[in-house]
Amino acid sequence: MSSALRELIAWCRILGIPSIFAMTAWCIRSCIYYTKQLKVLAKAQQAQMRSQLLEQYHYYMDGGWISEEHMEDWENLYQAYHNLGENGVLDSRREALLKLPNSAPNNTNN
């Protein structure tokens, strides 16, 4: 028998079964608590991303064009947002951005 296994058995004898159950219950409660906290943080991050995407959407739509680099950045943020679930309104906004030209309109008058 390995020394690590002997040490584990010795600790189990010292602590006893009730202590092991108490530690297990504490671990489970901690996991549940931190899972809830992560869900809250994910929702907050999603709200922030949605706000940023909508702000950028309005900026580019008002300008009437979006560069390929900016569209790629917007798309990357959109995909991260999309992977968090519950999307809705940004799907149609994405489609509208994809239809914009990739360069500024030429406003020179001859």
pLDDT in tens, 51-102: 999 999 999 999 999 999 999 999 999 999 999 887 778 989 999 999 999 9
pLDDT score at 106: 73
pLDDT score at 96: 93
pTM: 0.71
- 102 DSSP assignment: S
Which of 75, 38, 40, 37 is closest to 56 using CA atoms? 75
Give the tens place of pLDDT for each residue, 10-47.
887 777 777 778 888 988 999 999 999 999 999 999 99
